[in-house]
Every structure is written in C-alpha cells, then in structure tokens.
C-alpha cells in the first residue's frame, strides 16, 4: 500500500495545476469576446510586430505583442483556444464512445467478435495517422466538423486496443465467473462487473486523447487544412510565426507554449483522475 | 426423494482430445457434505465448474448426465439451465482476493443477486445480508457493507463470500478450496464457519480440497480423484479407518503430521503411481472402444 500512498500524495498538486490551467484556457475560450483585449481579426499595419509588454516599444492593450499584420496575439490565442477545445472535446468523446464500446465487446465476448474487431483495428493502425488525417480532411473538405470527424475516425483504435485488453483481463476474474453462476446475462455482466473496472482507464485515455486532438488540430491548421484561414487557430498562428521568427519571435513562442502546456495538462489531468477514480489506488 | 446432485458417468475432453474427466460418478444427498479430494490437476475443480456451468471453453463434456435435484441439466435450454443453477447453487471460491468486484461496495454486491435474480425487495435483501453477516461473525455490518473489497482482509473477504453464498438459500454449494489462499490461523475459523452454517441451513456442499485434514473435519462422504477418475469413494469415517485403494493409503501417508513435525514427508510411492497409470490406461481403452 506504500505505492498507493505515494500516488495519492503526488495526485494533489498535479491534479490542481493541470486542472487549473485547463480551466483557465476553457473559461477564456468560452468568454473569449469578453476577455480578449482586441478583435482577433482586426489588422492595423501601424501596429505591426509590437513586442510583448515587458520589452521596449510595447503598446498597452497588446500584452503579448502583435503579428506581422498588426493583429493582437493574446486575443488570437484566446479565440484559437475556442477551436482547440471544441475539437478536443467533440473528437475525443466521439473516438472514446466508438473505441470503448468496440473494445469492451471484443475483450469481453472474445471469439468471433474479438477476431473481427481486432482485424479492423490492425488494418486501421497500418495507416500513418497524420497522413490519414490529411487524406480524410482532403476528402471530407475543410471545416470544423470534418476535422472532428477525421480525428475520431483515426483515433478510436487507441481506446479500442487498451479497453479490449483490460476487459479481457477483467472477464477472467472470479467475480465475473461468480456473476455467471448467479445467472446474470452477458450484457448485464459486461456493464455491471467489467465496465466499472475499466472506467478509470477510459477517463485517463479520454483526457490524453483531448491533448492528442489539440495537437492534430494544430498540425492540420499548420498545413492549412483545418478551418477557414481567417479564424485564428493555434496551428495557424504557429505557421505564421514560423515565417517571422527573426523579426517577431513571440508570434511563434507564445502559441507553442500554450499548446505544450495544454497538451501536457490534458495528459497529467487524465492520470490524476485515473488514480482518483480507482478505488484501489484512492 | 431425489439426490441434491447426481453426476453419472461424466466424461470431458480438451480440444486436443485428451480426457480430463474419466466417467466420473458421484452423488451428493440433500444436506450432506461430499469432499472431493485429489492432487492438483486431478480435475476436482473441473467437476465443480461443470456442475455450475462455467467450464472453460477449451473443455467439452462428451458424455454423462448431471442432475440437480432431479432436473437433467443436459436436457434444459441454456437459459433455463442458467436460471436453475443461479437459483439453486452458489460458489465459495478459492481466492477471496479476486472473487469480489474491486470497484463496487460490498453491500450492493451482496444484495444485487437477491434482488435481481431472486426478485426480493431491497429491504428484504438488506435484512437477509445483515443476518448472514452476523452468522459469519462480522461485528460491524455497516462498515463492511460500505467498504470496498480492498479495505477488508483476506479472511474478512472470505467471510463475506461465505455469507453471500448462503444468503440466497441455495440447495447446493460448491466450495472450491475455500481455505487454500488463507493463512493457517484463519483457515481454521473459516472452516468452522462453513461447517456451522452448513449444519444450520442444511445445505449440501460439494467440498473440493487437496487437504485430507479438512476432509476429516467437514465431510460425511469422500470421493478420491486421480487424473479425472474416481479411484475410491466411501463414508469419511470408513475411508480413514480402512482405505481400500493404494493411492488413498499413499495420500494419507503423505499428509504432514503436527505430532511429528520433523519426520520427512513421504511422496506417493512409484509402484502406486505405476498401478494408477495402468488403471487409467485400461479404463481409457475400455472407454475408447465403443467411442471410436
């Protein structure tokens, strides 16, 4: 039980730091029109490439500086967070529902169901994911919903593989056998005995997947395949910042920091939640 | 009056055709404890699983009948068989650590079965579970019912499982080495509890064990199993007084004695094993002739 105690001690600050950052970005994204200091699309060539507030030449009201078209970087990051979070939640939940359901069925029922589902997963994983995503968006057309759909279509296999393995282990446990002796139906056992025991993993994966969805969305918008070029996205800002790295490093650095912190927070938050959810580790 | 459990000439094979149960016959009368004793791999657990309908998919029953209170399990539709087994039998498992769902509290795990399978009201199930917890000498039922399994010791968990097994008033309980995973001091208490509850409730028990000491304490009848074959069957008292089969005698000689802890343990004699091998081979030959 020593291990459990260490995990519990570590879970506190990790959960609060990661959760705090995510909450901050989430609130900023929800209330973007209220909290953003400027219009993220307003161009003003008189204000181009203003440095962040602590450097000489900064303008008040443009805290993180401006890009080469004079748009306010902080406001663009805040509005970009909207898109990042919509994609993260929608895509991760869709991938989770499909993948976990199929994984649970494959792992618990085994036999033919398992063979069919596992082969599909194998075939799916043979495609390089980023290439697959670019291909899908090219076919589905750009736009928010096709980005979400593409991520869900690609990443359900992550859930499926992990949940299948866990469900498989669970269904060999004596309490599952006991439930069978008592006369419970197969679906009932799956939902009542197996699902609660794989739930902590589903929660952790879900959070991790949100981070991955944020990255994939950034990659797609980096190569200009996400949504319309006007809307600010983190990937889009990074792509623009790359071009002016020598004149205005902040346009590249701040979105990168935001992206990294967000993705890291999602994975840490998931891990911390898992230990909270798991009655044995709690 | 029909027997509580009647197994007639039960044979089972693995996927590769190897026999794991060799024409096993045994009877458990109502209210009687029948011990099933043998070394590991002898097929004792397999018999229990066959009765409860949870054989692993690699094992196939090829011959024989099982009757639960006169009902032929082989003739029932799968669903009717499940319902019958669920209502009339229960299992006391070997390993109390994996037999309780780790993510559910003890209370709902115990009452669920009564409510969902037997259709009792929640109140009635709760009362019943508390009564049984009292019978297995759990003094703080409220705390235990609210606990998760990992918050209880192994002995406590086994008590909970015993209470759960008796709660639904089954006619037959399969106890699969219920004391093996526990430490020695707890083993004794658990054994005494099972014997006590068995007497009070009049439940028949098929008691699977490898420990002859346990057999002597708890059972009225014994079947000695070797390689999936019943080699000797007798009243417990008769068996201990005058074991007939050389393997039974060898097993008794191999049992460690507390009175003489420094005596070296005797393994089963080579000639006995050779005799057993010949006996099994002859039985297999006789069996395979009509079965092609």
Chain B touched by A27 (CB under 8 Å): no
What pLDDT, in 10s, does the model give residues A37-79?
A: 888 888 888 888 888 888 887 778 888 888 888 888 999 999 9
The pLDDT value given to residue B250: 87
Asked if the model's pLDDT at residue B258 lies above 70, the reply is no
Is the CB of A34 inside 8 Å of chain B's CB atoms?
no
Per-residue buried b or exposed e for B230-261, using 16+ beta carbons within 10 Å of the residue's own CB? bbbbbebeebeeebebbbbbbbeeeeeeeeee
Which residues of chain B does A274 touch, with a Cβ-Cβ cutoff of 8 Å?
none
pLDDT of residue B26: 93
For residue A29, which of A70, A74, A83, A109 has the smallest C-alpha distance? A83
CB contact under 8 A, A183 and B90: no
Query: A279–B150: do the CB atoms touch at under 8 Å?
Result: yes
Dihedral sign for Cα atoms in the order B137, B141, B147, B151? negative
* pLDDT computed for residue A6 by the predictor: 44
- The full length of chain A comes to 282
Classify burial at B262, counting beta carbons within 10 Å of its beta carbon; exposed 0-12, middle 13-18, buried 19 or more. Answer: exposed
Across the interface, whether the CB atoms of B54 and A280 are under 8 A apart is answered no
Residue B224, beta-bridge partner list: B37, B232
Residues 78-97 in B contacting A (C-alpha not used; CB under 8 Å): 82-83, 85-87, 89-91, 93-95
Q: Which of A178, A181, A197 sits opposite B103 (nearest CB)?
A: A197
The pLDDT tens digits of the residues spanning B184-211 come to 888 888 999 999 999 999 999 999 999 8
Residues of B with CB below 8 A from A184's CB? Answer: 86, 116-117
Q: Which of A4, A175, A202, A281 should we substitute to test contact with B (largest number of B Cβ atoms within 10 Å)?
A: A175
User: How does residue B261 score in pLDDT terms, banded at 50, 70 and 90?
Assistant: low
What residues of chain A score a pLDDT lower than 70? 1-11, 228-229, 279-282
Residues of B in contact with A192 (CB under 8 A): 112
Q: In A, which residues are within 8 Å of B104 by CB distance? A: 196
Q: What is the pLDDT of residue A1?
A: 39
A183 vs B contacts (CB less than 8 Å): 82-83, 85-87, 117
Contact B99/A175, CB-based, under 8 Å? yes
């Amino acid at each position: 039980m020593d291990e459990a105690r260490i995990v519990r001690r570590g879970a506190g600050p990790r959960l609060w730091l990661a959760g705090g950052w995510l909450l901050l970005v989430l609130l900023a994204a929800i209330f973007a029109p209220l909290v953003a200091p400027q219009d993220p699309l307003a161009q003003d060539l008189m204000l181009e490439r203003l440095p962040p507030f602590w450097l000489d030449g900064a303008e008040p009201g443009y805290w993180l500086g401006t890009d080469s078209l004079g748009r306010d970087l902080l406001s663009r990051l805040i509005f970009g967070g909207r898109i990042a979070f919509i994609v993260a939640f929608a895509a991760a939940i869709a991938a989770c529902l499909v993948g976990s359901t199929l994984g649970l069925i494959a792992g618990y029922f085994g036999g033919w169901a398992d063979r069919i589902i596992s082969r599909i997963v194998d075939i799916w994983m043979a495609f390089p994911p980023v290439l697959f995503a670019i291909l899908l968006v090219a076919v589905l057309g750009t736009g928010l919903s096709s980005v979400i759909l593409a991520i869900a279509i690609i990443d359900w296999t992550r859930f499926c593989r992990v949940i299948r393995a866990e469900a498989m282990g669970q269904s060999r446990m004596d309490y599952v056998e006991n439930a069978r002796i008592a006369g419970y139906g197969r679906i009932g056992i799956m939902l009542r005995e197996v699902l609660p025991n794989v739930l902590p993993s589903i929660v952790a994966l879900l959070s991790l997947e949100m981070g991955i969805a944020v990255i994939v969305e950034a990659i797609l918008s980096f190569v200009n395949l996400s949504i319309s070029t006007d809307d600010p996205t983190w990937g889009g800002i990074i792509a623009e910042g790359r071009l002016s790295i020598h004149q205005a490093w902040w346009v590249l650095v701040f979105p990168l920091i935001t992206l990294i912190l967000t993705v890291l927070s999602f994975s840490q938050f998931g891990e911390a939640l898992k230990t909270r959810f798991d009655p044995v580790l709690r | 009056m029909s027997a509580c459990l009647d197994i007639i000439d039960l044979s089972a094979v693995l996927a590769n055709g190897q026999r794991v149960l060799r024409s096993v016959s045994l009877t458990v009368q109502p209210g009687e404890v029948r011990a099933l004793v043998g070394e590991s791999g002898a097929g004792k657990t397999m018999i229990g699983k066959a009765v409860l309908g949870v054989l692993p998919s690699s094992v196939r029953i090829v011959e024989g009948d099982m009757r639960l209170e006169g009902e032929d399990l082989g003739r029932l539709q799968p669903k009717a068989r499940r319902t019958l087994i669920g209502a009339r039998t229960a299992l006391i498992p070997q390993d109390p650590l994996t037999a309780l769902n780790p993510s559910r509290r003890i209370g709902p795990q115990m009452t669920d079965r009564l409510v969902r399978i037997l259709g009792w009201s929640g109140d009635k199930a709760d009362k019943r579970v508390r009564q049984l917890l009292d019978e297995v000498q759990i003094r703080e039922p409220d705390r235990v019912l609210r606990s998760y399994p990992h918050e209880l010791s192994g002995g406590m968990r086994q008590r909970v499982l015993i209470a759960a097994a008796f709660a639904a008033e089954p006619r037959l309980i399969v106890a699969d080495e219920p004391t093996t995973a526990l430490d020695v001091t707890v083993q004794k208490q658990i054994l005494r509890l099972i014997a006590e509850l068995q007497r009070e409730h009049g439940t028949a028990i098929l008691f699977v064990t490898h420990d002859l000491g346990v057999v002597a304490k708890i059972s009225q009848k014994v079947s000695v199993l070797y390689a999936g074959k019943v080699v000797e069957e007798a009243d417990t008292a008769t068996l201990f007084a005058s074991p007939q089969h050389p393997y039974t005698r060898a097993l008794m000689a191999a049992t460690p004695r507390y009175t003489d802890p420094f005596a070296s343990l005797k393994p089963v004699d080579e000639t006995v094993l050779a005799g057993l091998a010949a006996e099994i081979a002859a039985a297999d030959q006789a069996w395979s002739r009509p079965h092609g």
